Structure formats: structure tokens, C-alpha cells
Amino acid sequence: MRSATILQRVRFLSRQMDPLTLFQPTTLETSALKKRSSLRLRSSSWISVCSSLLARVCPSSWTGVSDRRWVTWIAILHLLTGGCRTYHNIPETVLNNTREVDSIMRNVDAGALPQSAIETTQAPLTLRTPEDFDNVQYLDMSLQETIYVAMTNDAVLRDLGATVLRAPQAVTTQELRGLAETDPQAGIEAALSAFDAQFTAIGRFQNNDRRFNNRFFGGGANSFKQDTHDYLLQLSKRTATGAQLAVRSATDYDANNATGNLFSSAWQTQLQAEARQPLLQGAGATFNRIAGPGARPGVYNGVLIAKVNTDISSAKFDQSTRDYISNVVNAYWDLYFAYRDLSAKRDALDRSRSTWQGFQAQKTEGRQSGANEALAREQYYRFESDLQDAITGKLIQRTAVNNSTSGGTFAGLAGVQAAERRLRLLIGMPISDDHLVRPSDAPSTAPIRFDWDTITLEAMELRSELQQQRLVIQRRQMELLAARNFLMPQLDLVSIYRVRGLDQQLAGDNSAFRQLGDFDFQEYEAGVELVLPVGFRQGHAAVRFAQIQIARDKAVLREQERQILHDLTATIADVDRSYTQVETNLNRFLAASDALDALEANRQAGLPVNLEQLLDAQRRVSEAESRYHLSLSEYAVATKNVHFEKGTLLQFANLLVLDEPVITPAIFDASETLPQVLPALTNAPAIANDVLNES
């Protein structure tokens, strides 16, 4: 009963006081990982831990030595087993239970059918006429709200090239850094595992019963009978300096009928301490932290190399996040332009309908020829065709990352529904529902000037591609340090210390353990081992290979910097061009509107008007209005591209990428989640307000 109570108290304390938090990290782990959470136990702290547990577990009334010894062994056993993350499946490994794999194979044989309900979406909205747009419900979203929704559903960083179908392994997800850290071959945990302590336990039992033709071989008898037991316990560890340390206990029992035995049966036990310390090749914390134990020339899997690889993966994730946000912004302005273009096409259709109806009435009255009515009718159907494309849109490539420029050159394609579906796909919303997403933000019309020296420094410091390449160069430099180690011969210092004990009993007063404790029989071995490759051919090749890689990667870095400066220069020029185009196309639109207003005023007043001139003026107004909004969208995308090129796009979007894993939120549901973070749904007013009036 007391034992059960003690065990319960130890378990309770283990939940309150985690033993792992009582120890400090080793030098290797402190230098290799700044954010390492799991710490290795130091053997020198075992006594203090057990004493602390003992004082808290045992009440003051427990003064017996046997009670405290019992508690101590329970505490030590719990500490030894509590920190081990092991997996046991006896039914699968021993009893050959194949139920789980059989279940998987049944699904494979059935053609890998879906295991859960398939997520579906409702049929797309059917919008064919401007009146359909007046009756649909709109979901007005600002650019910041769109980015928020996108980052809420960012389990997979989507693109517009269907990479998730063509090459799913190339898709970036939130697990990128975790995969790099936990790679069982090249990750940080794999590199640290080379320094983990290894516990080995061996037990062998043997019975011999044979006859010999010569008594010499039978120990003085023609028949030989023997029972032997061999037990081995060993704890070994490799240190950060390359040393291999081992402590082992070897015990054997031998009972035989040899006539020369001191005892008919005897126990022999020994304690051994063995150390092998490299002095040249493979020695030192620098080499072992870079290359890892047992490294070969050109193959380096140390903790520091794994750390750099993890940092490279983090930089790649930042780059993928930047590209994803850039595509979201591109899709947002694509949709903005699609709505504005639709508004211009709708106004043009209304004007052409009015003109056509007027000439049709005059034709009926005989005041106009049929040719004039046909020209007005042809223009009406031209604008109706343009409006249909502006509503639906063609399935062609739109603005995307690495389309002519790194951040994406604005495509300027019409089609509200195609652009809206594209935006929904990117930000993780349902592909279609009862609402139509509509941008509520408009591009800025204010001139923007960037300080060239500042943005150049930002680009050289913050671009993810340059960070990755600089990390690669740092890794190459560490590999060169490790490669030089192989230019030295292998010289190891080997030593073994051994204490023995022998008697008829294993434990007790006259026993092997008692004799072992007296230290009467002590042995040691010491030696030096030398392996010298003549010529060091492989070592020199490894050093030269590392030097060439450094030279190559530095050349690549210089060219990357030149490319980024070129792209940054081009985007700055594009900002100036697009802003100039905004001013020019505004003046063009105003001039075209004035010309059309004058012609319409003359026509309404009954004055003679050249029909071709009137129809051409209508086309010019429609084209100028679309071109003006196209210039605004180009200006917004060009401004975004400057932040893309100088590496501040995430800050521009008010985003911060954290190294720590986050819980993936639920898939965005417009019917439930959106009203809490976005404005309430409203019925659609006019397609868009006139930007000219706003400015």
C-alpha cells in the first residue's frame, strides 16, 4: 500500500516539476541551436534531482533507510523512463498483427477512394446581363481584409498555375520548416542524435555437453559439461570533441566439471571504462559540429550544417509567402480593373443603345437612311460583345508573379467573374457562393517617390533570394573547414580501465560484487592508433571541391545582386511611367468626354451631326475610361512591385512570419466567419463610383 502511495506521489510531482527544466544545455547544443527547447540531462545533477524529489515525496515520518532507498529507486526509474519518447506495438511486431496495413492496402486496391466527405461548392452564378449584376449580393472587401482572409486559409500557399496538381511535392505549405527540422537524415534532430547516449543490454545462455578424445581439451576429463550465463550492460556516448566514451558492466556465470577449477561454479563480474579520443583527424568541436561523427570527405551532416539548412528553408518559406501575397494583391487589382472596365463597357452600351434607337426611329419616319441605322446598330452589338466579355472573361493568364517581372506585370484583362473566381481560389474562399466579391479600395492617385540609396540597401539586405545564397556560402565555408580536417592522419588515443571480481556467489559477503568493490583486481590498457593515407588524395580533392563551390556560389551571389538591382531599377521606372500614364489618360478621358458631350448636345438640339464622328467619339470615351482605370491598376501593381523587389512586401502588407508553428485555422466560410471581420453584406448599388469625381 505504501509503495503504491509513493508511486502516485512521484507521478504527481513529475507533472509539477519537469526534470528536463532542471538542467542546462550542453555547449554543443547552445552554440548550434539558439531556440532549442529540449535539453540534455547532465549526469552531475542526478543527485540533486533525486534529493529534491525525495524531500518532497517522503513525509517527515518516513525515517527508515529502506523506505527512502525505495523512494529513491522509484524516482530514478521514473526520471530515466519519463524523458524517453519511445513507441511500442507488441501486437504488430511480435504477434504479426497486420490489421492496419491491411486496411491501407484495401483502400489501395479499391483505387484510393476518398476516405471522408468530398468538399463541394454550389454551381457558379449565372450573370449574363447588366441587370443580373444589379440583383446579385456583393461582398465588399478591402485589400487588407483580402490579405487577412488569405492568411487565415494559408495551409497551402497557392498559385495560379495549378502546381498543386502538376507537382504537389513542389507546393509550399506551413510545414516547410518543420519538415526541414525533423528530416530523419539531414535535419537538426538527426544531427543531434549522433551525440545521443546509447544503452546496450545483452544476455546469453549456453549449455555444453560433449566428450573429448583427449583429456587436455576437456579440462582434465574426457567428458565436459558446462552451463554459462553472460550479461552485458553498456552506456556509450560520443562527445562534441569526437571522443567515444563507454561504461560497461560484464558479468558471466560458469559452472563446469573441469578438474582444475577453483570453484565448481563461479560468478565473474567486471566494470569497464573505455575512452577513444581522436587527436588529429575527426578531433575538435569545430569538425564534429560541422561534419558530425563518422563523416566522410564531401558528406557533412553536422548540427551546424543542419541549422543552416533549416535557416535556408525558413528563407524559402518567406520567399513563398512573399510570392503568395504578391499574387493576392495582383488578383485584387485585376478584379478592381475588371469591375471598372465593366462599368465603362456598360456606359458605352447604354449610350450606343440610345443612339441606335434614335436613328431607328428616324429611319422609320424616313428622316435617316438605312445605312446610318445599320452603323449605329453595329456599334451597339460591338459594345454588347465587349460587355459580355467584361462580365464573364476569358480563361487566359492574368497578372502573376514572374510574369514579365518578378512581382508580375499587370495584364489588364477584362472579365469580372473570371477574376473573382481567381481571387477566391487564391485566398481560400469557396469557389462560388451567393455573393460576388468586389474590391472596396481604389488605387492611390498620389505621386510616390522612393529614395534610391535606401531602397537599394533594403533590397541587398532583405531579399530572400540573397539571404538564401549568403547562407549557402556560409555553409560552403564551414564545409571547407571540415574538408581540411581530412588532410590530417587519423591518430587516436585509446584507453581502458577495468575492475574485476570473482567468487561462487554474485552478491553477498563472499561474492563477486564484494570483491569488485574491494578493487583488489584492477587492469588498464592504453595505446595509440595511427592511420595515414599516403598522399591524402581524397582529402585534397575534398578541399579543392569545397573551394570551387565557394567561388561558384559567390559568383552566383554577385549576379543575383546585379539582377535585383536591374529589376529594382525597372520597377522604379515603371512606377514613374504608370503615374505619368494616369495623368495622361485622365486628360484623354476628359477630352473624349467633352467631345462626346458636344456632339450629343448638337444632336439633341437637332443640329446636323456626322454619324461616324459620333460613333467614334463614343468608342473613344469607352476606351479612354478603361485605359484610365488600367493605368491606375498598373500604378498600384508597380508600387507593390517596388516593395517586392526591395524585400519589404510582407511589411507593406502588415505581415510577420513567425518561426514557431501555429494551429491551422478552419477553412474560411463566408457565411459564418466573414461577417465578424468584414463589413456586412449589402445589396449592390451602382457598379462603381466615378473616380473622376473622387479626385
The dihedral built from the CA positions of residue 507, 509, 515 and 518, taken in this order, carries a sign that is: positive
Residue 30 has pLDDT above 80, yes or no: no
Spatial distance between the Cα atoms of 243 and 527, rounded to a whole number of angstroms: 15
Give the pLDDT of residue 120: 67
Contact between 632 and 445 under an 8 Å Cβ cutoff? The reply is yes
Spatial distance between the Cα atoms of 572 and 582, rounded to a whole number of angstroms: 16
Give the pLDDT of residue 135: 83
Provide the CB-side half-sphere exposure for 379 (13 A, CA). 27
Spatial distance between the Cα atoms of 610 and 616, rounded to a whole number of angstroms: 10
Contact between 206 and 228 under an 8 Å Cβ cutoff? The reply is yes
Section 471-479 average pLDDT: 96
What would the pLDDT profile of 316-359 be if each residue is shown by its tens digit? 999 999 999 999 999 999 999 999 999 999 999 999 998 888 88
The three grid cell numbers given for residue 110, joined into one nine-digit string: 479499391
Contact between 242 and 464 under an 8 Å Cβ cutoff? The reply is no
Section 563-582 average pLDDT: 95
Residue 604 has pLDDT above 50, yes or no: yes
265-278 and 435-439 strand pairing: unpaired
Spatial distance between the Cα atoms of 426 and 278, rounded to a whole number of angstroms: 56
What would the pLDDT profile of 616-636 be if each residue is shown by its tens digit? 999 999 999 999 999 999 999
What would the pLDDT profile of 125-156 be if each residue is shown by its tens digit? 777 777 777 888 899 999 999 999 999 988 88
The three grid cell numbers given for residue 10, joined into one nine-digit string: 512521484
Closest CA to 568 of 659, 641, 629: 641
Give the pLDDT of residue 124: 75
Please provide the average confidence, as pLDDT, over all residues in the chain. Answer: 81
Distances (CA, A) of 13 to 18, 63, 172, 389: 8, 20, 43, 71
**Which amino acid would we find at residue 644?**
F
Instruction: Please state, as a whole number, how many other Cβ atoms lie within 10 Å of the Cβ of residue 9.
Output: 18
Domain boundaries, the chain: 2-82, 144-178+311-466+552-694
Give the pLDDT of residue 666: 36
Torsion of CA 181, 182, 183, 189, to 10 degrees: 80
What would the pLDDT profile of 182-220 be if each residue is shown by its tens digit? 888 888 999 999 999 999 999 999 998 888 777 766 666
Range in 94-108, 438-452, 478-492, 594-608 with the lowest mean pLDDT: 94-108
370-392 vs 416-427: helix crossing angle, rounded to 10: 10
Which residues, listed in sequence order, are joined to residue 224 by a DSSP beta bridge?
210
More confident residue, 70 or 275: 275
What is the DSSP secondary structure assignment for residue 174, as one 8-state letter?
T
Instruction: Please state, as a whole number, how many other Cβ atoms lie within 10 Å of the Cβ of residue 236.
Output: 14
Section 285-313 average pLDDT: 92
Spatial distance between the Cα atoms of 41 and 44, rounded to a whole number of angstroms: 9
The pTM of this model reads 0.77
Spatial distance between the Cα atoms of 107 and 97, rounded to a whole number of angstroms: 18
Give the pLDDT of residue 74: 52
- CATH assignment of 144-178+311-466+552-694? 1.20.1600.10
137-141 and 435-439 strand pairing: parallel
